[in-house]
Amino acid sequence: MTQRLDERRPGGGIVLTNISKTFVTNTVLHDVSLTFRPGTVTGVLGENGAGKSTLFKVLAGIHEPDAGGRLEVDGVEAPLPLTPTSSAELGFAFVHQDLGLAGSLSVTENVFVGAMLRKHGLIDWKAQAAKVRELLGRLGVDVDPSTPVQELTQSEKAVVAIARAIYARGRASSALLVLDEPTANLTGAERDRLFDAMRAAAATGTAIAFCTHRLDEVLTATEQVIVLRDGRVVMDAPTSSISGEKELARHILGRDLDTYFPERTSRAVDGAAPILRVEDLTGAGVEGFSLEIRPGEIVGLTGLAGAGHDTVPDLILGAVPARRGTVKVDGRTIRASSPTTTTTAGIAVLPADRKRRSGIMSASIAENLTLASLRRFARRGLIDHRAERSSVVAAMEHFDVRPLGDPDRALQTLSGGNQQKVLIAKWASRDGVKCLILHEPTQGVDVGAKRTILEHVARMAADGVAILIVSSEHEELSHLCDRVLIMRGGELRREMRGSGAKQITEQCYVAA
């Protein structure tokens, strides 16, 4: 392969022709043909299960494609199937959503992991630090190479992961950098900084494939858009030719979608006693936070990075200790607040970190879905597994958890959107839930799954559950919430009703 690649013509890009992939009898890629151009940021879109991950696993050398496909890199054919080694030799690099960084190690150690520079048999820390500064400087970030990664902001961590990927591709004259949901955990300002880093990487001649479910990001940060649906390319066009998010959604789903958000009429009753009352809650960067939510009301909570809103769910839950303040449910104070006592009182919290805190990834759909309501299936000290399974299958159908009818499948095998459906169904199935707190409920899910999730949230509100949505998705908050609260500097600064996403974002910056 090396000899052939020496003949590469810089600027030719990465060209895939008729790439297919079949698992047993299920074809998940159908004659995919597309080009990733050097110096171009290309958005790659599609619902979970559309074939995006399979396509990139073919390029990473993880999956072997069906016979008949062709791959060219700068005008020279690269023999298929690839291996992880030959993929790296071609200059293909991948940054996944979880970034894969070691928080306790320094920036330098993360960038050079497995490939330390050496001088006279010893690690050349000075040369490595200089190389890291050069890489990060090209991406518009200035951090001390000796800083532990866990001390960086989320956007800085993402850039470090990109720098590591760029370094790993070595001296390839052209490269493909695949970014899989790199903005999932970033605020608006952090996303802008990451977009600047992406453009800087593209300016060096790197072809960038940017995978995201956030359609506004595609229109902002890309020059070309490719949409996969059911394993086929259904759109390949310049971003400038796309009219807006509705057009993208139509190609992704194969049908018109008037809005991602369910129509909703507030069921909250003016003057009704609040289900949740928080008074003077203080701790972990939050000062004097107070809140009331009535039955059927959906309240949004947001702010810029570090504003304190992200900590509120854990303070209410009792997962993070408060220095002072009270939490009341139906007028009764929760004493010695802890996750157990808070949940028993009727408050359910779905944390933003789905993989580590919301679900048990290695456990089955059934085990996750019934975890909060096992008492419903207890018969003389034993679990009635037949009744449990029947309930799980019904819930999977109700929440459209795909694939349907397989409750024994491990949660980690599902797409992000289907994982989130299972975890919301877990709390919807529990008796006695009076207040549901959702932290970034649609993070990392596709447009179709987002609509389904928000429809179920709206239904729970219609049934009288008090809902608190803590989110950085201002468009989502503006459509779904009866009112939106804005935090800044650890304090509650604004309450907004009937405002659009733009006004909410502006108030995050100007609230004082």
How much is the pLDDT for 1? 47
pLDDT in tens, 210-238: 998 888 889 999 999 999 999 999 999 99
Average pLDDT over residues 377-398: 89
Q: What is the 3-state secondary structure (H, E, C) of 393-432?
A: HHHHHHCCCCCCCCCCCEHHHCCHHHHHHHHHHHHHCCCC
Confidence bin at 196 (pLDDT 50/70/90): confident
Beta strands in 212-367 (DSSP E): 224-229, 232-238, 276-283, 286-293, 298-303, 324-329, 332-333, 347-350
Using CA atoms, how far residue 333 sits from 336, 337, 432, in Å, is 9, 9, 17
414 contacts: CB under 8 Å, gap ≥ 6: 365, 401, 402, 422
How much is the pLDDT for 269? 63
Average pLDDT over residues 53-82: 94
pLDDT at 405 over 90: no
Name the strand (E) or helix (H) holding 493.
strand 491-496
Three-state DSSP state, 187:
coil
pLDDT in tens, 17-64: 999 999 888 899 999 999 999 999 999 999 877 899 899 999 999 999
pLDDT in tens, 287-299: 999 999 999 999 9
Highest mean pLDDT among 192-196, 258-262, 303-307, 457-461: 457-461
How much is the pLDDT for 448? 81
Question: Class of the 2-253 domain?
Answer: alpha beta
pLDDT in tens, 331-364: 999 876 788 899 999 999 999 888 888 899 999 9
Average pLDDT over residues 128-136: 89
Confidence bin at 170 (pLDDT 50/70/90): low
Mean pLDDT (the chain) is 87
The answer to whether the CB of 319 falls within 8 A of the CB of 275 is no
Q: Are strands 122-123 and 118-119 parallel, antiparallel or unpaired?
A: antiparallel
How much is the pLDDT for 49? 76
Residue with tokens 């390839």, as numbered in its chain: 172
Span(s) in the chain for CATH 3.40.50.300? 2-253
Amino acid at 194: L
The answer to whether the CB of 63 falls within 8 A of the CB of 56 is no
Using CA atoms, how far residue 473 sits from 215, 414, 444, in Å, is 12, 23, 12
How much is the pLDDT for 393? 94
How much is the pLDDT for 512? 45
Q: How far apart are CA 45 and CA 229, in angstroms?
A: 9
How much is the pLDDT for 42? 97
